[in-house]
Amino acid sequence: MSALQKVPVTILTGFLGAGKTTLLGRILKERHGERIAVIENEFGPEGIDNDLLFTGGAEQIVEMNNGCICCTVRGDLVRLLGELHARRERDPAAFSRVIIDTTGLADPAPGAQTFFIDDEIAAHYRLDAVITVVDALHGGAQLDAHHEAQEQVGFADRILLSKADLVGPEDERLLRQRLRRINPRAPIVPAHFGAVPLAEVLDIHGFALDDILAIEPGFLGEETHEHDDAVQSFAFRSDTPLDPERLQAFFRAALREHGPALMRYKGIVAFPGMAHRVVFQGVHMMMGSDIGSAWREGEARESRLVFIGRELPQDGLLAALAACRVNVS
């Protein structure tokens, strides 16, 4: 099989809350005429990004939420890519490209390795590029504190800078300077709410194995990747609608007491009497909400919230969320 016949694969990476899901949603909304298979990797017990993404019926989304794609579920990645290839053999029009949306805690190297050290995968797929989203507001601190954030920048073929409107020109200049020191070969492109020309993301033929081997000679070897044990994730679920005032009070208290430790939190919430989901997303002290898609007739209106952070009082936070249910006095 020639390289032109191989399915191009984009690995989308970036630290927690950088804006990967927003970017992916924008890509899927574009009128590019392609069918895209998306592999979602969540770090934690709940995968909710399916609910955050607009698919329009043209995409296939497969979730892996049993761990980080660079650790225990890499075998799952090989299996899923194999299953997708079998589906495409049965129906060549099933999809024309794959996007792998990694967890924000992922080192992209092991995922990228898959396309070179697994002969079966290499025969059917071509790694087109590693796209890294960097949060202009929190990116500097994340690079200071997390090796994974540095690896994500180092392996990037394109760096997309999000939330630049939230920082001053000098702070942005210093961050860009730092990103270029880490990775001088990757162009830095602004990405305001995921608005990026598709030509900067897809079919850029950006992944150069020789360049990667120059910065990480052991790239093709088997390495162990470990996460900081202080980083934990947990989820809250409720079949009972949540009271909006109580939930707002919960978030105010949680951000006041644990904001710096809350690396990422997001979720879908059902409020009584509302025909639409409400989407909550946040990073540290910054949180936003928006109206999501409408609940379908007969659909279970379940609220699901996921938290990722350092040394969080899980039991206390879950109890406080439970108290937000409308039937709790």
Report the alpha-carbon distance of residue 307 to residue 294 in Å, rounded. Answer: 24
pLDDT of 132 > 60? The answer is yes
85 pLDDT exceeds 60?
A: yes
Q: Are residues 192 and 306 both part of a single domain?
A: no
Per-residue pLDDT reduced to its tens digit, 265-302? 878 899 999 999 998 877 677 777 878 889 989 889 99
Q: Which of 157, 182, 215 is the last residue of a domain?
A: 215
Burial class of residue 282, CB neighbours in 10 A (0-12, 13-18, 19+)? buried
- pTM for the whole thing? 0.66
Which of 215, 243, 263 marks a domain boundary?
215
Using alpha carbons, select from 94, 111, 93, 92 the residue that is nearest to residue 102.
Answer: 111
Domain with 263 in it? 231-322
Among 167, 183, 215, the domain-final residue is 215
Looking at the fold, whether 27 and 157 belong to one and the same domain comes out as yes
User: Is 37 a member of any domain?
Assistant: yes
> Do 55 and 143 fall within a single domain?
yes
Rg of the chain over Cα atoms, rounded to whole angstroms, equals: 20
> What single string gives the DSSP state of each residue in 261-290?
GEEEEEEEE--TT-SEEEEEEEETTEEEEE
Residues 279, 167, single domain; the answer is no
User: What total of structural domains would you count in the chain?
Assistant: 2
Q: Does 328 reside within a domain?
A: no
CA 126 – CA 135 distance, rounded (Å): 28
User: What tokens appear for 49 in the block?
Assistant: 């990004």
Residue 66 has pLDDT above 50, yes or no: no
- Predicted local distance difference test score (pLDDT) of residue 164: 94
Phi-psi category of 60—alpha, beta or left, where left has phi over 0 and alpha has psi -120 to 50? beta
CATH of the domain at 68: 3.40.50.300
Q: Is residue 139 part of a domain?
A: yes
In a domain, 226, yes or no: no
